[in-house]
Amino acid sequence: MQTAHRTDAGLVRLINEDRAAVRDEWNGFTLAVVADGMGGHQAGEVASQMAIELVETEMRSVETDMTVDERKEAVRRAISTANDKVFEFASQQARYQGMGTTVVVALVTRYDIVIGHIGDSRAYLVSGDSIRQLTEDHSLVNELIKSGQITPEEANVHPLRNVVTRALGTDKQVEVDVYHNGWRPGDYLLLCSDGLSGLVGEPELYAIVADRRALSWKVDRLVQRALEEGGGDNITVVLLANDEADGAEAANDPERGDDA
């Protein structure tokens, strides 16, 4: 598996509150995490960094012989534990009260992906000639879209488009969404903060990721496109390429498939 990632403060923000981590050899898995902090001053970057470190610590218990359900529960538990500890930390220090972060976590094998997330940082699967968003945004505009009050096009320019309805660390308890998806050789997994997805549309995301050039070029180009569109937020991109298993191996794997 190939991986590449990059984060950039953008053209407006003075501080980069985004954080990302990619661990290629994680007890037989690849672990990737993106967190987009919030809370003002230094609180956002503290929350996102804590979330990354806490998730990594909790995920040390994963083992290659785990079932899909066991891996999904491990991801859910890691994010929930991170939420508990960030909330406790913030509650004990006045300057950090109310801080939080989005988080999207991917635990990846050659055959499948387990994703857990809170907030509006996203995971996309690029496969063949298509791109598909695997996560559902926990955001105000997404709720308005689902209720029919605004269109997706209107959401892109809505004045409250950056308001999240769920975040890690802002409440004592939080619901974590967890998904399982298969993927094949030649597929790509893209994780990103809304500094990318809020400015660059899916057709262009697909075109860049599907390009035949190196993975490092792709993440650099994705960040550059967000900057060219104004770079109004921190921008973080993680890209994983499935290039290790052949088609016969993947087709015969009993745990392939998609579920939530």
Give the Cα separation of 49 and 56 in Å (integer): 11
Q: What is the pLDDT of residue 256?
A: 37
pLDDT in tens, 217-234: 999 999 999 999 999 999
**Nearest Cα to 28, choosing from 5, 61, 4, 52?**
61
Average pLDDT of the residues in 71-88: 98
Q: What is the pTM of this model?
A: 0.90
Q: What is the pLDDT of residue 141?
A: 79
| Structural domains in the chain, sorted by start | 2-248 (3.60.40.10)
Q: In this prediction, what percent of the chain has a pLDDT beyond 70?
A: 93
For 154-197, the three-class secondary structure string (H helix, E strand, C coil) is: HHCCCCCCCCECCCECCCCCCCCEEEEEECCCCCEEEEECHHHH
Give the Cα separation of 120 and 196 in Å (integer): 11
Instruction: Name the average pLDDT for the chain.
Output: 90
Average pLDDT of the residues in 5-28: 95
Q: Is the pLDDT of residue 153 over 90?
A: no
Asked if 63 and 27 touch (Cβ cutoff 8 Å), the reply is yes
Asked if 75 and 175 touch (Cβ cutoff 8 Å), the reply is no
Neighbour count for residue 241 (Cβ, 10 Å): 19
DSSP single-letter state for residue 95: G
**Residue, of 161 and 211, whose pLDDT is higher:** 211
Q: Is the pLDDT of residue 260 over 70?
A: no
**Nearest Cα to 108, choosing from 51, 36, 25?**
25
